[in-house]
Chains A and B, each alone.
Chain A
Amino acid sequence: MSRKRRLHWYVLGIFIIVFIVVVISQVGFSLSQLVETGILAMTPLALAAVGECLNEQAGTVNVGIEGIFLITAVSGVYWAEVFNSGLYGLLLGSLTGGLIGLVLGLTCIYGKADQVIAGMGLNIMGLGLNPFLLLAIWALPGIHIFSRDLMIQPAQLGTESGHFDISPVTIAAIIVAVLAYLLLNRTLLGTRIRAAGENPIALDVAGVSVARVRLLMCIVGGVLAGLGGAFMPLGWFGGVTKDISAGRGFIALAAVVFAGLDPLLALAAAFIFGFSEGLAFTVVVAPGVKEIVPFYFVQMIPYVVTLLILTAAIGGKRFPRALGKPYVRE
């Protein structure tokens, strides 16, 4: 599918969103709440998806985003409590993510590990490590609620009559997506990243270390996923639980595939997926609806939307030729 046809899907997606927004405002739901929740849900998806775009452009796949989310959510809250600052929590959560990205990168690049299996191992590790850490750190099984003071305070936009909250991390995510786009398309490093994924032999011949470029992107991908993971408790939920990411790591992967590794399109995809989650949250609490539609079906919305969009829009996209293959010099 050409970029133009993919654009049609985005136009259609945005049209559907506008339609839903109009319907919802007619029925009398809180519109600002819907959009606020939507962009909150978008933030971790966008951060992780943009990081993964860079990672995959350089030729390594990380399917372990879910695992990074699960671990850095705990790590972010832990460090936030140690330093008594939500900001430090975000920073050290990202650092944890970067460290995980580094280890996974070393395993895949120098150990020539099967990237999908290694990433899945990371997911399984996260599923176990998250409850282990919850119990080891706070002696509580499954959940930890931290002090409200550690929450990252949102910025308020708009007039006093109808203000609109937006988290600084959300703004950061949008900036990061733009920067990633510029990095890939306007800089020398970007050319090298794309070469590492497309034609690693040429990059090697040009005297640039394929392994180093890939490893760097693994770390960047890990840092961004880690920021997303730490954001979930510190900027959104106000607590960390056993199943905190609930498949979001895989929804971020879906956004990456849907975007064909373009960071800006990944941001747009993250918005669509996040919006569907915001919709689920809004509908759950809406009077009149929760009596008719069981809560359980509303909970399925983000996953169904992800499946549907992926089904409708996939195909014909070009991925880097050396994606997923370890580079071996001949």
Chain B
Amino acid sequence: MSLRLVGSLGRSALESGIAIVLGLTVGALLMLAFGYNPIRAYVALFAGAFGTSSGILESLAFATPLMATAITFAVGVRASLFNIGAEGQMYLGAIGATIIGGTVFLPPGVHLVAATACGMIFGALWALPAAILKIWRGVHEVVSTIMLNWIAFWFATFLVRTYLGDPERAERAIPAMATARYQVIGETLTTVIVAVLLFCIITTIVLWRTGIGFELRLVGDNPDAAKYAGVSISRAILVSFLVGGLAAGLAGASQVLGRPPSWTLYATLGNILNLGFDGIGVALIGRNHPIGGVAASIFYGGLLNGGRYMEYNVGVSSELVMAINGIIVIALAIPEILTIVRRRRQR
């Protein structure tokens, strides 16, 4: 049993590795096509991300929200849902954290917990419409979650520009108060990473050690068997969306309460934009497992962090990293990528 587990783990890791190599190769070809030096770019990227201790701390700070948004997608896939609403749920999470963290006075400790919880609840509430539409009307979650993402984008922008705006600086929301901030570990990494890791562990326990987790996975693995066993599919869908919403809300809150130097949300949402979409690729690299997602987040957080050095040193847009992520996702969509590669090698 344990040997088989190790075998399948190794296979999963190998498949992710192949997809990553493929993504980086296509990225290099793109850079060559537009006259950049890919070797210099990647050296700048990886040296910046993992070459120094401060680089590693910064990469972990980039990884923290991705660990949470990866759960949103992973928990969806486990219940055979394609929940790509982490983006919008994360915006609302950041708003929830700003409301409590920036405008309400509470004692230290309580303030931090309340602001984090409020962010998570806001995220879950924003996941609710998609869940209800799916259960009640069968509206496909790919379309409904994207529409909700855009509505959330304009709603969050509206709030930051009006009621939650920083009176001193128009371009951002009220920063979280000192009592609502996670402690800085080093660079922009804060203890919010502990909260996120805790959430990952709890999600793993819920998915693999509880009845509702079993039902959720059964609905994903074999809906016919689930129906036959009397499992409520609606309930599994609802739980999956709510856990995903809590995770995405936590991701948004983590960027307000646990990310110096701004400790707030910009009106363009520029400091949290795309963290939800990045989570999709991270979840897939982590094979839709919360713990695998942590490992994948550290890798992808490194890419995001190092991408800035790549842009600064070589002039390549740091957003190439997202294109590479897309290619990795496409590669991971192919179920037999390992077999295909092996066959090629034997030939």
Residues of A within 8 A of B (CB): 63, 67, 104, 107, 111-118, 120-137, 141, 246-247, 250-251, 253-254, 257, 294, 296-297, 299-300, 303-304, 306-307, 310-311, 314-315
Contacts and interface: CB of A to CB of B under 8 A. Distances in A.
Contacts of A135: 315-317
Contacts of B238: none
A132 B30 contact: yes
A129 B340 contact: no
Contact of B335 (A114, A127, A297, A307): A114
B284 interface: yes
Contacts of B326: 67, 121-129
B317 A296 contact: no
Contacts of B84: 120
A132 B316 contact: yes
Main secondary structure on chain B at its contact with chain A? Answer: helix
Interface residues of B, number: 56
Nearest to B329: A121
Interface in B163-186: none
A299 B82 CA distance: 26
A125 B27 CA distance: 11
23 contacts: A67-B326, A107-B334, A111-B336, A113-B330, A117-B333, A120-B142, A125-B325, A128-B322, A129-B30, A129-B323, A132-B323, A135-B316, A254-B143, A303-B147, A303-B148, A304-B151, A307-B129, A307-B139, A307-B148, A307-B151, A310-B137, A311-B137, A314-B137
Majority DSSP secondary structure for residues of A touching B: helix
A247 B333 contact: no
Contacts of B140: 257
Contacts of B340: 111
Contacts of B336: 111-112
A125 B323 contact: yes
Contacts of A114: 333, 335
Contacts, number: 163
A7 to B, nearest CB: 19
Interface of B: 30, 34-36, 82, 84, 129, 133, 137-140, 142-144, 146-151, 154-155, 157-158, 161-162, 274, 277-278, 280-281, 284, 315-317, 319-337, 340
A117 B76 CA distance: 13
Contacts of B330: 104, 107, 113, 117-118, 121-122, 125
A303 B319 contact: no
B327 A311 contact: no
Nearest to A312: B137
Contacts of A128: 319-326
Contacts of B133: 307, 310-311
B141 to A, nearest CB: 10
Given A125-B327, A315-B138, A296 B155 contact: yes
Contacts of A304: 147, 151
Contacts of B162: 294
Contacts of A300: 150-151, 154-155
Contact of B82 (A116, A124, A294, A306): A116
Nearest to B73: A120
A307 B147 contact: yes
Nearest to A305: B147
A310 B148 CA distance: 13
B34 A120 contact: no
A310 B334 contact: no
Contacts of B30: 129, 132
B139 A310 contact: yes
B34 A137 contact: yes
Nearest to B326: A125
A141 B149 CA distance: 24
Contacts of A115: 333
A247 B146 contact: yes
Given A127-B277, A127-B326, A294-B162, A314 B319 contact: no
A111 B334 contact: yes
Given A124-B280, A127-B326, A300-B150, A250 B143 contact: yes
